[in-house]
């Protein structure tokens, strides 16, 4: 199994499992409302995770601000949002030889990238 498929499956399973467990603690009326929300969430997750993903190797990136890395790939300007421990891990101005995996979503003319 590819790393990308494993990462997607693990994240989706964790999100879906958490949502399912919380519905069992509510009353029946709340459970019906929550189930419709969960159905919407599942559909949104499916659309997101069956969308375009990329895995890039040996990328050179520059740190931008406190929690972003930026790099170019085939003419695309890509910005990676650093979350959690990654903010502390990337403290230098520039990096060489990074391996990056991401799910992308288009917004305006730029790509905003989120870790999966």
Measure the CA angle with vertex 35, ends 53 and 47; round to 5°.
Answer: 15
Chain segment 13-39, per-residue pLDDT in tens? 676 666 554 445 555 555 555 566 677
CB 23 within 8 A of CB 35: yes
In the chain, what percentage of residues exceed pLDDT 70? 63
> Rounded to an integer, what distance in angstroms lies between the CA atom of residue 35 and that of residue 29?
10
pTM recorded for the entire structure: 0.47
Higher pLDDT, residue 50 or 11:
50
44, 78 contact by CB (below 8 A): no
Burial class (CB in 10 A: 0-12, 13-18, 19+), 80: buried
């Amino acid at each position: 199994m590819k790393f990308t498929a494993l990462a997607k499956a693990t994240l989706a399973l964790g999100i879906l499992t958490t949502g399912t467990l919380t519905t069992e603690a509510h009353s029946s009326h709340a459970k019906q409302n929550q189930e419709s929300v969960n159905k919407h969430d599942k559909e949104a997750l499916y659309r997101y995770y069956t969308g375009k993903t990329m895995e890039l190797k040996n990328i050179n990136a520059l740190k931008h601000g406190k929690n972003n890395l930026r790099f170019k790939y085939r003419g695309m300007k890509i910005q990676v949002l650093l979350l959690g421990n990654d903010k502390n891990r990337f403290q230098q101005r520039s990096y060489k030889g990074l391996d990056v995996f991401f799910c992308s979503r288009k917004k305006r003319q730029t790509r905003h990238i989120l870790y999966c």
